[in-house]
Structure 1
């Protein structure tokens, strides 16, 4: 028998049989650690999950499988400490493969001791449960969306009924005043009756807002270009702020035709702008942007798949905690001081947009700011539909850069090349766009200090959306990026500044 040959089964010891079985398992990563956490054995499942061969990993510390955040928090050492003191450590969390991609792992660590209790190492078993975690997350999101939808529907029915009954009471009061003045002309001009008339008028305005939230207000919907509506209304929107707020409007270069009640849309947009301005008492940045976007099925709550006009109002204000954001559209809910607001502004926006067949989504973080995205079904005229019939192969590119000026210029450059361009200012925002919108090309800056890097974004995109073409760009040379970002191997790369011809050549490449 040569050194490379295994003995017959009859010649194997129990220990050899056990080691052979462990090494052959591919559905679990099973390996041993010494008392300091260095890897001493490695099976086929570990190599399949993590991407390292036995030669690469033996003798290295197991903390390399953890994310940078977990390592800085001391979680690997904590896991061994708990395993030793409690007899076992069990947990789930993100782990990192050799190529930098992540997977959701279920981990068990057991201490190994001699008969006298002396610690000689640890046994570690890891399972890849990414699909299970994604399914659980999707189920939780679906349940939350269903609960929110049912809650808002119930609130709509309640407020609609209250508004209807209140309108009847106001009608009695208003008609009674008219009868009283007809019978007693000398009361004309009475300050008391004038105050009563103003109170009835304010009550009527209040019920109209409630009816708007309840989606029971009659709409006069016609086809309008949202970009034109916003441009015509820009002067009014700017006056809602003050000199301490930097106001910016970024309009999509294409027309955005929708069926909408123009007057009520302007009111809704003004409500969002006023809300954003009030969230920035010390000043800040307010931006309004529009996009033509194609959504996946139920990517935004329960909206069907299709073409939509997106209007986004973003601010750098005080932001909202998750519990406040969850209630933001409820009528009469407000975080403002008594007397500073009725709590009906956002509920009116929500009611009008959903009645128009759209949806409103809040993304907010306390201390960072808020973003309200309004989605309305886009319509196409016969002429536009005929033009687009020959453009079914038009591709959508997502451009990611934290430099806003460069982001806008790059988007316009892609549009001149015939692409449909969407933008994102961070990796997290880009992942949200990828989740809800079919993207053909991801074009991302590499270094984004306040976000995950472009390389990490590219790896996550490659893992989750393998059909998406990926192009990375940076002003840093490749050797420097390899040292700081882990390299861009496997992705198309452009050095900034690049020429139009370089971009076109890269877009034609197959990488």
Structure 2
């Protein structure tokens, strides 16, 4: 039997197991001791076990203090640094037990050492990981729900420092409604019974503000239930994004329905208008049955009203379809302007208008929409010109750094293209600069200037579709300037 015990101890490789005499000199040496400390048996037998201690521990008399503590207490155990033959250190679990003869005479010590360096390194890495994670609140609770640990993420999300919160009950993070319902205790109970508790709900920060949290509570066991691990993540931004996304889906569906309605309504409304206008034209041109002057005026007004109504229906339909997702592509703004000049060639010629423009760049755009934007702005400059002066429209451009832009509503970009359309027309009061972009808002009587009041509303919608903003500056009799910012 004694031989078997000897063979057992000699064959163990994961533990250094050896004997010391009463003064601490090494008497035996197993394979595990050789493996963990680096000494061969012949090198170490008879030497004092203090050689395995660090210089600092030897200087403070630690080896002798351990022997005395083992004698006085019947056993000594600790974790600490020890040294190998090559001088390297390792983290060791040490158990020192006094040995006695059958006559109860103290004959030495049994010493068991286990290398825990990898375990300690792993624990240190985990502790470093947990302490520095910023996106998650990671902390431990005792069995009763009191906070034991606190990482950086918990401080960032909840607002408490470790000294402020350690020892407090975790119910401090719950809303008054949840506290009244006994939610904290319920969550711990479910975690123990089900092995985990997880939910999303409102939690409180130190300042009393609420945040939407994903919470996971897991029971921790070590020789029985000893507490809980709690992981909390702030999902407030994601929740708001989800709500915005859902609202956008509803809005998109509503827009599609509106566009469908506008398309059907425009067709159904324009058909009777065409018939009214056609018949009015036929009656006016009937030479066999001439009308009185009064009848001709009335019929002419009907004819003109039908034309204006048809134009209005077209503008409403165009505005309603601007919310559709169109294909963006690189396209020359100079080419857009050239197209518009061709479309408005007759009016430009009749008024003797001059359009001055510096070279415009290529931009990512929906060409058809950008063409409509330029057409509306050029048309306005021609329409609201002064009779005594030939129309002059100056279009300039420059690049503006994103850091120098303060306007809200812009898509984020490092640079923006600034376009300015400056005319020498009749102008308008500056207090009306916002009103002119509203649907159907007109500054002038429709008899004085034709139009539906939708042109600038369409301009704003197109600019917003391209991630930009549009504004206007003017004064009566001093022309108008429209400024557009677009992501470059």
Do the structures match in fold with TM over 0.5? no
Shorter-chain TM-score range = 0.3 to 0.5
**Max Rg structure:** 2
TM-score (norm 2): 0.36
Q: TM-score, normalising length from structure 1?
A: 0.35
